[in-house]
């Protein structure tokens, strides 16, 4: 199930390559949520941390030849995208939505799409890692999509609706 829809100003051919990147919520994130390590959205404070502002979360792109996945405990520059219009570490994620409960599913979706403008990729990429740069670059989740290669364009990962069936992060 894809959690991103991809919008960009380019056309790309379908490929028959097999990629090593894998999608999923980070294994370590599942336990870290229960111990109050991550503050993903605004609110009245996280009791374990007594804060009212969200952590800084980033989204980084990775090469199709990489091996990023849920087993990565933290963000690493290994296999990270490079190129014109791309900054190592990725973009800062807009965190105006608070995590919430939709019936029995915990949900969180960033409040804005991830976007790289004036972007020329240095190679094919098919993976985005969302990580918490306020908490030692801890991996939150890795998302995969069809291999992309951009030349002087805008690459946008559009966020889904923030409901139980489609939220970017869901804990049921």
pLDDT score, position 12: 39
Q: How far is CA 144 from the centre of its chain?
A: 9
pLDDT score, position 99: 82
Number of domains in the chain: 1
- pTM, two decimals, is 0.77
**In a 3-state reduction of DSSP, which class is residue 9?**
coil
Taking only the tens place, the pLDDT of each residue in 111-168 is 999 999 999 999 999 999 999 999 999 999 999 999 999 999 999 999 999 998 999 9
Give the DSSP letter of residue 96.
-
d(CA 119, CA 83): 7
pLDDT band at 1 (very low <50, low <70, confident <90, very high): very low
* Token pair recorded at residue 102: 């939709």
pLDDT score, position 166: 93
d(CA 94, CA 84): 22
Taking only the tens place, the pLDDT of each residue in 57-111 is 999 999 999 999 999 999 999 999 999 999 999 999 998 888 888 888 888 899 9
pLDDT score, position 44: 52
Taking only the tens place, the pLDDT of each residue in 2-31 is 344 433 333 334 444 455 788 887 877 776
Strand order in the sheet with 105-108: 100-102, 105-108, 169-171
Number of other CB atoms surrounding residue 138 within 10 Å: 21
Number of other CB atoms surrounding residue 145 within 10 Å: 17
d(CA 4, CA 21): 16
Domain, as residue range, for 76: 5-10+18-171
Is the Cα dihedral 156, 159, 165, 169 positive or negative?
A: positive
Q: Are 90 and 76 in contact (CB under 8 A)?
A: no
Reply yes or no on whether the pLDDT at 46 is more than 60.
Answer: no
Return the half-sphere exposure (C-beta side, CA atoms, 13 A cut-off) of residue 45. 5
pLDDT score, position 136: 94
């Amino acid at each position: 199930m894809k959690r991103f829809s991809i919008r960009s100003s380019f056309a790309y051919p379908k490929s028959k390559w097999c990629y090593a990147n894998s999608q999923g919520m980070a294994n370590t994130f599942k336990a870290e949520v229960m111990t109050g390590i991550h503050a993903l959205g605004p609110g009245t404070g996280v009791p374990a941390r007594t804060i009212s502002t969200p952590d800084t979360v980033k989204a980084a792109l990775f090469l199709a030849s990489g091996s990023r996945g849920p087993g990565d405990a933290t963000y690493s520059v290994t296999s990270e995208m490079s190129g014109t219009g791309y900054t190592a570490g990725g973009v800062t994620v807009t965190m105006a939505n608070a995590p919430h409960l939709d019936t029995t599913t915990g949900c969180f979706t960033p409040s804005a799409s991830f976007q790289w403008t004036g972007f020329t990729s240095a190679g094919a990429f098919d993976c985005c890692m969302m990580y918490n740069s306020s908490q030692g670059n801890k991996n939150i989740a890795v998302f995969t999509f069809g291999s992309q290669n951009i030349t002087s364009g805008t690459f946008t990962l559009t966020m889904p609706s923030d409901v139980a069936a489609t939220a970017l992060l869901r804990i049921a």
